[in-house]
Amino acid sequence: MVKKKACIFISGSGTNLRSIIKNTRDYNFPINIKLIISNKKNAKGIGYAKKYSIPYKIISNKKQEFEQSAIKYVNSKKIELICLAGFMRILSKNFIRNYKGKILNIHPSLLPKFKGLDTFRRVLKSKEKFTGCTVHFVDEKLDNGKIVLKKRISIDKSFNEKKLKRNVQVEEYKAYSEAIRKIYRSS
């Protein structure tokens, strides 16, 4: 099996990155992570790049510089899939058009509900009975592209934001890799 070359974009703790890295050890997993890009120099997730000896780049968060450099690195490694994993900046329309159908994102809600930031707080406030996470292709609108899969959890009355986040993220770790397997199974 020829694995696709992937790049993971992160901004923070990188726990989704960690779960994808673990899955790439499976012989049948369809991608290899060739590059990790962080727009934050102190992102904890960079530690996983180091730990697993995966090439990484930290790129200035200034919009123009970030995208120009990211495009250069992504193209030089012939990346076929970009996975946004807790990547907390909005990519330009131009960038997204450049990699149309090749960018995935994970969002901590059942899209189209609760697009945008501060998701867990808003979900709790809304008194929903269920929430979850969604893996989707990125298009030019925020948290909007074609959905690959969702995973659902029930919200217990006792949940605070921290507990909700922990429960949703357990599902995220399964969802991202399942979505990656799914898109290459059906292509």
Q: Which of 30, 45, 132, 145 binds ligand GAR (CB under 6 A)?
A: 45
Q: How many CA atoms lie within 13 A of 6 on its CB side?
A: 26
* Residue with nearest beta carbon to ligand GAR: 86
Out of 102, 107, 136, 151, the active site residue is 107
Measured between alpha carbons, how far is 36 from 7 in angstroms, rounded to an integer? 5
DSSP strand pairing (130-137 vs 81-84): unpaired
Tell whether the torsion through CA atoms of 157, 158, 160 and 166 is positive or negative. Answer: negative
* Closest to ligand GAR by CB, 102 or 136: 136
136 belongs to the catalytic site:
no
Residue 85 touching ligand GAR (CB under 6 A): yes
Of 23-31, 52-60, 90-98, 101-109, which segment contacts ligand GAR by CB under 6 A? 101-109
* Closest to ligand GAR by CB, 14 or 145: 14
Active-site residues, by number, are 107
